[in-house]
Amino acid sequence: MVIVGLGALGGAVAGSLARAGVPVAGVCRSRADREAIESHGLLLREHETETVVRFPVLQELSTEVDPALVIVLVKTFDTEPVARRLRDHLDERTPVLTLQNGLGNAETLSAFLKPEQVLAGTTTFGALREAPGVVRLTGRGECEIGAWHERAQRHLPRVKELLERGGLPCRLSSNIVAALWKKLAVNAVINPLTALLRLRNGELLEHAELEPLFTMIVEEVWQTAARHRIALPTPPELAAEVRRVCQLTAANESSMLRDVLRQRRTESDAINGAVARLARERGVLAPLNQALAALVQVASQRERAPATMVPECQ
């Protein structure tokens, strides 16, 4: 198995699989992470337990590697170049699973790979990259996966078995598009609010004044999904799911918060920006999601300004 992208979640997934004895390799562009893992292994922390796991780390996927599964865990804006490289270096029979945030990743992979290759999914695992080659599991959840095209369904039982053998509980979905939108509703709340307010996920629940925002944000996601004929749980149920994920990953710093603090490009355009964009396509507005996308963009730009730069956590 190959994990493309060894950030917080990618490192946690790779480390969990390797710890369970599942053969795994990582593809990572970060020289610091590659050198740390090659030299000392990946240090996986969970509560008070520390485990060092070792696995090969590559800068690019090679045609010499023949994995049973590829899991893509890069940022959404890096999906297209990854898809191009997978097309050039991967056997057409190999399944490719995206567990990324936001919308559009499965569509991008499908534009370059065969329909029978692409699987999509979500995960409620929380992870934090503490240093190069050091990842902390901040919350255990599960994965939900499905076939992006019906011809890919044959891969699902085997992929589920591989993930569960690696300690990643997994369930199969017959409607993975709805599952992705449900996860989008959760991310549309947690990611921008934690990034803008500099809070960990669980700390959002400590501020009662934020509760109306939860409902307003997911209401826009729900309305947009409905206009695209995607059935989601009711807005109150989606808000309850936001609270559940906040509790499950209470100690986690969202990827958007980490990106803002580390002066990196965020995925706001694929989360809140996508909601606003898809709403406009159906003649409705999602002003709160539009505002959150804009605010995160400005916050990220301010962090990159020399006068307010935050030192890299590497």
* Structural domains of the chain sorted by starting position, each given as residue range(s) with its CATH number in brackets: 2-174 (3.40.50.720), 177-302 (1.10.1040.10)
The Cβ of residue 314 has, within 10 Å, a number of other Cβ atoms equal to 11
Q: Which of 51-65, 69-83, 228-242, 258-272 is least confident?
A: 51-65
Three-state secondary structure call for residue 3: strand
pLDDT recorded at residue 133: 94
Angle, alpha carbons 26-31-36 (nearest 5°)? 70
What is the C-alpha to C-alpha distance for residues 84 and 144, in angstroms, rounded to an integer? Answer: 25
- Contact (CB, 8 A) for 61 and 152: no
Write the burial class of residue 227 (CB in 10 Å: 0-12 exposed, 13-18 middle, 19+ buried). middle
At 126-175, the pLDDT tens digits run 899 999 999 999 888 899 999 999 999 999 999 999 999 999 999 999 99
Q: In which residue are the tokens 């493309």 written?
A: 4
pTM of the model: 0.91
Q: What is the pLDDT of residue 83?
A: 96
Q: How confident is the model at residue 176 (pLDDT cuts 50, 70, 90)?
A: very high
Counting Cβ atoms within 10 Å, is residue 121 exposed (0-12), middle (13-18) or buried (19+)?
A: buried
The Cα–Cα gap between 55 and 225 comes to 40
The rounded distance, in Å, linking the Cα atoms of 38 and 57 is 7
pLDDT in the model for residue 236:
96
Rounded-to-integer distance, Cα 70 and Cα 80, Å: 15
Secondary structure class of 186 (helix, strand, coil): helix
What is the dihedral angle through the alpha carbons of 282, 285, 291, 292, rounded to the nearest 10 degrees?
-60
At 181, list the tokens.
């939108």
Q: Span 209-217, mean pLDDT?
A: 96
- Mean pLDDT in residue range 235-246: 96
pLDDT of residue 216: 97
